[in-house]
């Protein structure tokens, strides 16, 4: 799976997107369409020790990510840091073993040809992992959301607008050829992290897959903005229902936790979601590319995945 919208699914390279972003969140896990591209910078790190270091620093990165969105005050900061520490402990103990299991599955799959259905099955397993993150993180995120002041909500709106301008820059500026080339470059970079250098024929296949993808950047931007607006309305409604922002130290109402969790999960499309046709397309395109990889490329993929597994085993081991 790639980080490019409409790009082929990349089931063996997805784990980085769920190792660090639950904690670091530095690459917009909460953006709806990014689930269709579950790859994070952690996977791009070139050394095992670097990945381990990134994971250990992820709680601090997550704090600064949230603070960048809403400009936390001192009391909110202290509460969030405690929530992040608890989340990090849960993630290390309960989630890393599941990711290790997935990596073992992918190592067994990598030397073999695959199908779009098999690729989408891995997508489904990863979607389930992200839902578990939502279940665990819903209360801490709800606590932050319900404590936001009107000024902080305006800060969040401005940050949304900034991120939307970045989306426009990435996907809507330039000629159609230039837009496609940016997506191709990103997709090829992601594939080469796993397989090594792609051949010209493989690059051409990636390009054709992206050209044929059911990708509509303008529609995605409109839906992205609608989802952001929905979140702001939901937070304001939840605050109004309790008479204003949540007081420091107050319990988070269970209905508010459920509502924000549901908002998040509704943004995670299923592989067969008719509203997200690029997922099934990407599964098929990934399978087609993988099936054209050489024995040497597949062996490299196995070794890369083994390295990630070793990292996670070291991270999951008792201190």
What is this structure's pTM?
0.82
Residue indicated by tokens 């070793």: 310
Are residues 113 and 290 in contact, defined by beta-carbon separation less than 8 angstroms? Answer: yes
Window from 53-67, 122-136, 261-275 with minimum mean pLDDT: 53-67
In angstroms, the CA 133 to CA 77 distance is: 21
How much is the pLDDT for 308? 87
pLDDT in tens, 173-197: 999 999 999 999 999 998 998 999 9
pLDDT at 213 over 50: yes
What mean pLDDT is predicted for residues 134-156? 94
| Tens of pLDDT, residues 5-55 | 444 444 343 333 333 333 333 333 333 223 323 333 333 333 445 667 777
pLDDT at residue 296 above 60? yes
Structure token pair of residue 70: 């809403």
pLDDT at position 55: 79
Contact predicate 142/31, CB 8 Å = no
Q: What is the pLDDT of residue 41?
A: 33
pLDDT tens digits, 239-262: 999 899 999 889 999 999 999 999
Better-scored residue on pLDDT, 163 or 54: 163
Closest CA to 35 of 286, 273, 268, 277: 268
287 by Cβ neighbours in 10 Å (0-12 / 13-18 / 19+) ranks as: buried
Integer Cα distance of 8 and 215 in angstroms: 12
In whole angstroms, what is the distance from residue 216 CA to residue 109 CA? 32
Residue 89 neighbours by CB distance under 10 Å: 11
Closest CA to 121 of 288, 283, 269, 302: 283
Tell me the per-residue pLDDT of 39-97, one tens digit each, with 9 for 90 and over.
Answer: 333 333 334 456 677 778 888 888 888 888 999 999 999 999 999 999 999 999 999 99
Q: How far apart are CA 178 and CA 169, in angstroms?
A: 11
So what's the pLDDT on residue 17? 37
């Amino acid at each position: 799976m790639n980080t490019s919208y409409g790009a082929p699914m990349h089931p063996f390279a997805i784990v980085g997107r769920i190792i660090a972003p639950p904690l670091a969140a530095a690459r917009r896990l909460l953006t709806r369409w990014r689930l269709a591209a579950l790859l994070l910078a952690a996977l791009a790190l070139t050394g095992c020790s670097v990945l381990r270091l990134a994971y250990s620093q992820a709680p601090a990165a997550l704090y600064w990510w949230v603070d960048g969105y809403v400009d936390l005050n001192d009391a909110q900061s202290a509460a969030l840091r405690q929530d992040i520490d608890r989340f990090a402990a849960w993630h290390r103990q309960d989630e890393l073993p599941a990711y290790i299991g997935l990596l073992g599955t992918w190592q067994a799959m990598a030397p073999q040809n695959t199908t779009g259905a098999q690729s989408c099955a891995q997508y489904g397993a990863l979607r389930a992992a992200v839902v578990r993150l939502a279940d665990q993180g819903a209360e801490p995120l709800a606590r932050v959301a319900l404590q936001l002041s009107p000024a902080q909500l305006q800060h969040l709106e401005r940050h949304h607008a900034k991120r939307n301008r970045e989306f426009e820059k990435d996907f809507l500026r330039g000629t159609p050829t230039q837009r496609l080339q940016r997506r191709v470059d990103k997709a090829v970079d992601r594939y080469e992290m796993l397989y090594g250098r792609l051949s010209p024929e493989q690059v051409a296949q990636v390009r054709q897959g992206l050209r044929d993808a059911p990708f509509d950047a303008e529609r995605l931007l409109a839906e992205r903005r609608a989802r952001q607006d929905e979140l702001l309305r939901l937070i304001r409604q939840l605050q109004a229902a309790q008479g204003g922002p949540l007081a420091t130290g107050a319990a988070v109402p269970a209905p508010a936790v459920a509502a924000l969790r549901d908002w998040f999960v509704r943004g995670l499309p299923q592989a067969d979601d008719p509203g997200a046709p690029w997922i099934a397309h990407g599964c098929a395109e990934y399978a087609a590319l993988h099936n054209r990889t050489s024995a040497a490329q597949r062996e490299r993929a196995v070794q890369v995945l083994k390295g990630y597994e070793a990292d996670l085993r070291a991270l999951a081991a008792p201190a």
